Amino acid sequence: MTGVSQESINRLWRAVVLQALLDAAGLGRSLNPSWPEWKHQQVKEDARKWLLDDSQDLTDACSAATIHEESLRKFASRLVKGDTQARRSLIEWRDTFAKQGRKPADELEVEQESYVQDEIF
């Protein structure tokens, strides 16, 4: 891909993983609040399946996002079990990620996302 930085690709895939975690935790409703309850449940179950089942898609996404897959699976498992600390960490990552998205690309703090990843997983 020309004109697209590796950092942009990495950030895109981190956003994919983050959204799957939010969906799995039941925190992704704000994207489509008008959906019926059964649709929210379906999205939640699909996200959980993708995060917890063995799949090449998740392996590829983790690789592109530079996230350790096994650590992500353990974290997702904690979320699914209702771990409140995992949920708080996820919300913190979401908020940090959103703040970085509002900065120009040359001001992004890549170290902070790595720190958040280390703290979360």
pLDDT in tens, 34-70: 889 999 999 999 999 999 999 999 999 999 999 999 9
How far apart CA 77 and CA 79 sit, in angstroms, is: 5
Q: Which amino acid is at 68?
A: H
How far apart CA 37 and CA 9 sit, in angstroms, is: 33
How far apart CA 35 and CA 29 sit, in angstroms, is: 8
pLDDT of residue 67: 95
Report, as an integer, the average pLDDT of 11-34: 91
Sign, CA dihedral 54-59-62-66, equals positive
**Residue 118, C-beta contacts closer than 8 angstroms, at least 6 positions apart:** none
Query: pLDDT: is 53 or 100 the higher one?
Result: 53
Report, as an integer, the average pLDDT of 85-101: 93
- pTM for this one? 0.82
